[in-house]
Amino acid sequence: MLVFQYMPNKSLDYFIFDQERSMLLNWPRRFDIVMGVARGLLYLHQDSRLRIIHRDLKISHILLDNEINPKISDYSIARVFRGQQTEAKTKLVIGTYGYMSPEYAIDGKFSLKSNVFSFGVLLLEIVSSKKNRGFCHPDRLHNILGHAWLLWNEGKTMELMDACLKDSCVESQVLRCIQVGLLCIQKLPIDKPTMSSIIFMLGNEKAMLPQPKHHSFFIERSSEGDDKGCYT
C-alpha cells in the first residue's frame, strides 16, 4: 500500500494547459511554484541523505496542495546515487520525451543535470502556458524550446509569456525565468547550472546571469506533424 498526502488542486498541467484555468494562476503564483519546484529539486540533489535523479520531471508530476504549493510526485523510475557517484548509464531509456535531456534520450546517460534540463523545460512551459511537444508556431516549425531561443536572439523574449499574465507579471522576473530556462537546456551537462545556482539566479534581481548558449534539442516539425530532432 502506498499512502500519499492528498493534493486538492490536482496537478499543475490541469491549470497551465487549459485556456480558462490558466488565468487562475497569475504571475506571483507561478513564480512561487517555480521556486517551490526548484527548492524541491535542490533537496533531492543536496539535502537528502541520498541524491535522487527523478528522470521524469514534468508539469503533470507537479501536484498542488490547497494553498497552491507545489509537490514533486511520481518517483517510479527515479534512481539513487550513492557516495561520490555523479553519473550513470542505462540501456533502457524511459521517461517522457520533450523533458528528457539529450544525453539521456540518445545515449542513456543521466545525472543531476538531467533533472536540471527537465526543470528548464518545465520553467518555459510555466511562463508560456504551452506544451513543449504540443506547441506549433504558424511560421516556425519549432517546439517551445526552439521558439524561446529564437525570441531570445531576436530581442522579443517577452513574447513567450502567456498574454493572461500581462497585468500581474513582473517583467524582470519573467525575463530572468526565461533566461534561466534557456541556461538549463544548454547542450552540454557541464554548461547547465546547478540547482543551487538556479535558486540564487531566480531569487536575486542583482545576480549577473551568463548568456545562454544555443541549446541542443532544436526540434522542428514537418508539415505532416512528424518530429525530427537535430543536434547542433
Q: Which amino acid is at 219?
A: I
Alpha helices in the chain (DSSP H): 12-16, 27-42, 102-107, 112-128, 144-153, 171-184, 195-203
Residue 135 pLDDT greater than 90, yes or no: no
Residue 210 pLDDT greater than 70, yes or no: yes
Please tell me the distance from the alpha carbon of residue 89 to that of residue 213, in angstroms, as a whole number.
25
Whether 6 maps to a domain, the answer reads: no
Residue 111 pLDDT greater than 90, yes or no: yes
Name the more confident of 60 and 227: 60
Region 177-189: mean pLDDT is: 95
pLDDT tens sequence across 74-100: 999 999 998 888 899 999 999 998 899
pLDDT tens sequence across 39-86: 999 999 999 988 999 999 999 999 999 999 999 999 999 999 988 888
Residue 146 pLDDT greater than 70, yes or no: yes
Please tell me the distance from the alpha carbon of residue 102 to that of residue 215, in angstroms, as a whole number.
10
Whether 4 maps to a domain, the answer reads: no
Residue 114 pLDDT greater than 90, yes or no: yes
Helices then strands, each counted (H, E), the chain: 7, 8
Region 100-107: mean pLDDT is: 92
Whether 163 maps to a domain, the answer reads: yes
Which residues touch 112 (CB under 8 Å, ≥6 apart)?
Answer: 45, 51, 53, 81, 86, 194, 195
Whether 132 maps to a domain, the answer reads: yes
Whether 128 maps to a domain, the answer reads: yes
Q: Which residues are catalytic?
A: 56
Cell of 92: 533502457
pLDDT for the residue numbered 176: 97
In the three-class reduction of DSSP (H, G, I as helix; E, B as strand; rest coil), residue 25 is classed as: coil
Cell of 200: 540564487
Question: 195 and 42 in contact (C-beta within 8 Å)?
Answer: yes
- Per the structure, how many domains does the chain have? 1
Whether 7 maps to a domain, the answer reads: no
pLDDT for the residue numbered 138: 57
Please tell me the distance from the alpha carbon of residue 95 to that of residue 93, in angstroms, as a whole number.
7
Q: Which domain holds residue 120?
A: 12-228
Q: What CATH number corresponds to the domain at position 62? A: 1.10.510.10
pLDDT band, very low/low/confident/very high, at 133 (cuts 50, 70, 90): confident
Residue 218 pLDDT greater than 90, yes or no: no
Whether 2 maps to a domain, the answer reads: no
Please tell me the distance from the alpha carbon of residue 18 to that of residue 221, in angstroms, as a whole number.
23
Q: Which residues pair with 72 in a beta bridge?
A: 62
Whether 3 maps to a domain, the answer reads: no
